[in-house]
Chain A
Amino acid sequence: MKGKDFVKKYTMVLALILVFILFTILTGGRLIMAQNISNLLLQNAYVLVMASGMLLCILTGGNVDLSVGSTLCLSAAIAAKLMQTNHSSATAVIVALLISAVIGLWQGWLVGYVHIPPFICTLAGMFLFRGIARTILDSKTISISKEGFLNLFTSYIQIKGVDHLGNCPSAMVIGIIIAIFISIFMIADRGKKAKQGYQVASMGSTIAKVIIFDILIIAYSYELMGYKGVPVMVIWILVVVLIFGFITEKTVFGRYFYAVGGNEKATKLSGIDPRMVYFWAYFLMSVLAGLSGLLVGARIGSVDGNMGNSYEMDAIASCFIGGASAYGGSGKIPGVMVGAILLGVINMGMSILGLPDQYQYIVKGAVLLAAVIFDVVTNHKTGKS
């Protein structure tokens, strides 16, 4: 691949690497301390989870879901309230997710079948669901103390006798196992495709990719080892990301999102019902927002009426920074992940440097704008002409 094409394809990854190095230097190395690296994913768990769903909405045509921050709050509020009134953690989790699913059915139906413009529908949802959440909370802050619930989301994998605070070899072991699996998978997958006559990348570039992944995983595991080990929340993130990555990349169902966003009329004339596609995008988005509510609630340890405020913006920004087209039809999960982590690194870096909030806002906005301008200009994407 020529140099220029390489830069175009991996722009955001390169940007992430550069920003990472930049902040590592600026913070005098504090960025890569075990505790901070460990917290990087935890603080941004909700972004990664929600952006996976937001990608589906954006794929359908640049549509977003503005209500997710409020759904997140509502889900957390319901769970907290149930646990406060002595229901089990399990009940709390299940009911919260069910309510999120109902919201998903509601918005999915309105957007997909009643043809309400998504922007307006989810804007209304943004007010509605937050209002309901605040009613449940009765303008109070409810703390979450049930062990079961907190462990489900915020605990670390620590094997008794092996792992202590500051030294968790289990993290490294898990990391190595995952690295081995990924390496075998990537090489075997290439072999399988080659055998079936599909054009594959050169063995050299595949090996290079495998090595880079391995290094990253091992490095990350090393950091985790130096703190508390593998956080359970990372598992949650991985599960969601892998499922949605799989759906969008490998399934017929996932392909439909790209088709509808690429050309809805042509897709309809190809025998695919666009209404169903819109429905599923908004349904899944709400469910993921509900899950995020539980993740954030567990992490903070309490729920108040402002929780989740403008979280939808983080999810949306991650998708666009990660290369999703503002007109729909393109964007991938790995890109979204890179976008989310990039924002996360910038936030964390600026926090470590002690920069006040307002600067973080400015940088966030600038990065988003730069990413989209770069994307449009280099790909000459002038939208539907």
Chain B
Amino acid sequence: MKNIVKEYPGVKALNNVTFKVERGEIHALVGENGAGKSTLMNVLSGVIPYGEYTGDIIYNGKECQFHSINESEETGIAVVHQELALIPELTIAENMFMGNERRNKFGVIDWDRTFKEAQDAMTRVGLKESSHVLIKDIGTGKQQLVEIAKALSKNCKLLVLDEPTSSLNEEDSKMLLDMLLDFKKQGITSILITHKLNEVAYCADQITILRDGQTIETIPNPNHTIDENRIIKGMVGRELTDRYPEREHNVGSEVVFECKDWSVFHPVYTEKCLDDHVSFKVHKGEVVGFSGLQGAGRTELAMSLFGKSYGSHITGHEYINGKEVHLKNESDAIKHGLAYATEDRKTNGLILDETIARNTTLARMEKIANRHGIVNVPEENKQAEIYVKEMHTKTPSIQQHVGNLSGGNQQKVLLAKWMFTEPDVLILDEPTRGIDVGAKYEIYQIINDMVSQGKAVVMISSELPELLGMCDRIYAMNEGRVVGEFEAKDATQEKIMSAILSSNNKNVSQAG
């Protein structure tokens, strides 16, 4: 892929990316969240069709213009996504040939062929089940293999795997990687996107590192002996050119929020542990950061602490201002002075069809209603105006629907909403995601204001420079555990990323 450029409004997801894969090799594609790996593969597979990006895709020596996934699949490119695209209520065979049915010339499905060919494909990946088994009745590891079998059944020559081992245990992961090495012998080329550097070292022949939408370097790994630190250096080695507003660091000694041995399990797959005995604390006037990659468990941690709004079998202790609390729901959490600004402001943070004014007051309407429950609309509007002014939210009026604002201004309304509840501790989940540089700076200023007003802020972010620029202390999480704690002034991007990606994954205890 040569000189690929893909822009979205306000952000260049891919900035002149060049990526070469040799026939018959396993090529690893690594980078932080948002580096552009998935976007690049979306361009390759046709999810982002020809015309919506610039640059060339040259496959088998021929220039390709894919307008859809079907077109890329016809040339032998198959992508297995991180989010499994399988239908639980249907059989393995039906899923295998979804959109690609075995049919006779009248368009009627040939079920005998379907189940037989599915069974054959399954043997290639080592699945011994019957192809009549329903997807929901097999584990995630095997579902992953079904996806790969599906890709193989399309006669793929170039297999792209996006985080294939993220839901697998060690045993299944190794089996999958060995299978990739096996495919190599069969002449199939693989592109492996993964965060697990040990896997990269184990099977990749070459490693391409993306950072901030640009190709940084391609490292050869012919003997599979590469040092993980070498990769980390490539991943994070950026200049800290982003500026962060100055603030006085007035961290108090009192602990306003603490959690000990906090464990959370998945609400549906209740054996899956998402957070494993996590402990951390936050002081008054402090900004504490949480770094980690996708699946680290940070959002799940935050949501479960916020009145058990996510997760099942939640155990552990939560303390606010030194006293242990048992928060039953979100309303409880708000009453105890917690605030949680969600990761996805559009899906579960704001009501897009409602006005700025009504969004601002939603989480604590008692402040603008009398004791009979009647809303004082002028007061509500006044309060909304105050926040709009303080945060410099760009809008013609507070009666504007939030859905019409730009991302940065929507985020400001979200922050205003939580400031309105007068919390002691604010948990901000990816507060500057999808926001342009100018608006980011303003959000940082707002966060600084919060802290100078005596609040404590917990900031979950995938951007290491942001954490280093804004936080007093930074926790690193990986796979549901805290794997590092750093004073911001002593931390570097490499140290944090190293802690996250270190394959030893020791649980760093936070006692004390």
CB within 8 Å of B: which A206-258 residues: 250-253, 255, 258
A255 touches B365 (CB 8 A): yes
Contact of A266 (CB < 8 Å), options: B334, B348, B369, B379: B348
Query: Could you tell me if A271 and B363 are in contact, using CB atoms closer than 8 angstroms?
Result: yes
B-chain residues with CB within 8 Å of residue A269 when the two chains form the complex = 306, 309, 330, 340, 342, 348-349
CB contacts (< 8 Å) of A199 on chain B: these are: 381, 397
Q: Is B353 within 8 A of A329, CB to CB? A: yes
Given A197-B382, A255-B358, CB of A273 within 8 Å of CB of B329: yes
What is the minimal beta-carbon distance from B43 to any residue of chain A, in angstroms?
23
Interchain nearest-CB distance for B388 vs A (Å): 14
From 344 to 367 in chain B, residues with beta carbon under 8 angstroms from any chain A beta carbon are: 347-354, 358, 362-366
Distance between Cα atoms of A109 and B417 in the complex (Å): 31
Chain A nearest Cβ from B133, distance in angstroms: 29
Q: Which residue of B lies closest to A249 (CB)?
A: B375
How many B residues have CB within 8 A of the partner chain?
A: 36
For residue A67, CB closer than 8 A to chain B, the reply is no
Contact with B378, one of A197, A253, A258, A263 (Cβ below 8 angstroms)? A197
- The docked-state distance in angstroms from the alpha carbon of A261 to that of B350 is 12
List B contacts of A258 (CB < 8 A): 354, 358
Interface residues of B in 56-91 (CB under 8 A from A): none
Q: Which residues of A contact B340 (CB under 8 A)?
A: 269
Interchain CA distance A199-B380 in the complex, whole Å: 12
The distance from the CB of B425 to the nearest CB of chain A, in whole angstroms, is 15
> Quick one: which of B310-358 are within 8 Å of A by CB?
329-331, 333-335, 340, 342, 347-354, 358
- The CB with the most chain A CB atoms within 10 A, among B309, B347, B365, is that of B365
Determine whether the beta carbon of A255 is less than 8 Å from that of B330. no
Which chain B residues border A301 with CB–CB below 8 Å?
Answer: none
**Interface status of A198 (Cβ within 8 A of chain B):** yes
B351 touches A267 (CB 8 A): yes
B351 touches A259 (CB 8 A): yes
Chain B, Cβ-Cβ closest to A192:
B378
From A196, A255, A268, A270, name the one whose CB has the most chain B CB atoms within 10 angstroms: A270
Partner of A265, one of B347, B363, B417: B347
Given A250-B374, A255-B365, A263-B348, decide whether A268 and B330 contact each other with a Cβ distance below 8 A: yes
Q: Does A131 contact B (CB under 8 A)?
A: no
Known A-B contacts A198-B378, A252-B369, A255-B358; A262 and B348 likewise in contact (beta carbons under 8 Å): no
Chain A: interface residue total (CB-CB under 8 A):
26
Instruction: Provide the residues of chain A in CB contact with B364, threshold 8 Å.
Output: 271
- B363-398 toward A: CB 8 Å interface, digit per residue (1/0)? 111100100011101110110000000000000010
Q: How far is the CA of A35 from the CA of B364 in the complex (A)?
A: 51
Query: Could you tell me the distance between the alpha carbons of A268 and B378 in the complex, rounded to whole angstroms?
Result: 25
A140 sits at the interface (CB 8 A): no
Q: Are A251 and B375 in contact (CB under 8 A)?
A: yes
Give the residue of B329, B333, B365, B378 whose beta carbon is less than 8 angstroms from that of A193. B378
| Interface presence of A330 (CB below 8 A) | yes
Question: Which residues on A sit within 8 Å (CB–CB) of B329?
Answer: 271, 273
Interchain CA distance A269-B366 in the complex, whole Å: 16
Complex formed: what's the CA distance from A10 to B330 in Å?
39
- A272 located at the interface, meaning its Cβ lies under 8 Å from any Cβ of chain B in the complex: yes
Closest CB in chain A relative to B109 CB, distance in Å: 31
Give A254-305 interface residues, CB cut-off 8 Å to B: 255, 258-259, 262-263, 265-273
Complex interface: chain A residues within 8 A of B373 (CB):
251-253
- B365 proximity list for chain A (CB < 8 A): 252, 255
B399 and chain A: residue at smallest CB distance: A199
A window 74-96: CB within 8 A of B? none
B321: min CB distance to chain A, Å: 19
Cα A330 to Cα B401 with chains together (Å): 12
A residues near B353, Cβ cutoff 8 Å: 262, 325, 329-330
Chain A residues whose CB sits within 8 angstroms of the CB of B382 once the complex forms: 196-198
Chain A nearest Cβ from B434, distance in angstroms? 16
Closest to B362 in A: A270
- Which residues of A are found within 8 Å of B397, using beta-carbon distances? 199
B335 — which chain A residues lie within 8 A by C-beta?
271
The answer for the CA separation of A311 and B333 in the assembled complex, in Å, is 44
Which of A196, A258, A259, A266 has the most C-beta atoms of chain B within 10 angstroms of its own C-beta?
A: A266
Q: How far, in Å, is A73 (CB) from chain B's closest CB? A: 34
CA distance A262 to B402 in the complex (A): 12
Residues of B within 8 A of A259 (CB): 351, 354, 362
A contact residues around B348 at 8 Å (CB):
263, 265-266, 269
In the complex, A262→B333 CA distance in Å? 22
Partner of B331, one of A193, A251, A263, A273: A273
Say how far A361's CB is from chain B's closest CB, in angstroms.
33
Partner of B375, one of A196, A250, A263: A250
Q: How far is the CB of B349 from chain A (nearest CB, A)?
A: 6
- A250: which B residues are within 8 A, CB to CB? 374-375, 377
B374 contacts across to A, CB distance below 8 A: 250-252
Q: Which A residue's beta carbon lies closest to that of B359?
A: A266
Using A271-B330, A271-B331, A271-B333 as known contacts, say yes or no to A266 and B349 having CB atoms under 8 A apart. Answer: yes
B348 and chain A: residue at smallest CB distance: A265
How far is B347's CA from A262's CA once the two chains are assembled, in angstroms? Answer: 11
Interface of chain A residues 146 through 196 with chain B (CB within 8 A): 193, 196
Would you give the shortest CB distance from B284 to chain A, in whole angstroms?
A: 23
Residues of B within 8 A of A197 (CB): 378, 382
Measured in the bound complex, the distance between the Cα atoms of B361 and A272 in whole Å is 12
Which residue of the partner chain A has the closest CB to B370?
A252
Task: Knowing that A251-B369, A329-B353 touch, tell me 13 more A-B residue pairs with CB under 8 angstroms.
Answer: A198-B381, A199-B381, A252-B366, A252-B374, A259-B354, A259-B362, A262-B351, A263-B348, A271-B307, A271-B363, A271-B364, A273-B329, A329-B351
- 10 CB contacts below 8 A, A to B, read A196-B379, A252-B365, A252-B369, A258-B358, A262-B352, A262-B354, A265-B347, A266-B351, A272-B362, A330-B353
Interface residues of A (CB under 8 A from B): 193, 196-199, 250-253, 255, 258-259, 262-263, 265-273, 325, 329-330
Minimum-distance CB pairs A-B, first 10: A262-B351, A265-B348, A271-B331, A270-B363, A198-B378, A196-B378, A263-B351, A271-B334, A271-B330, A270-B362
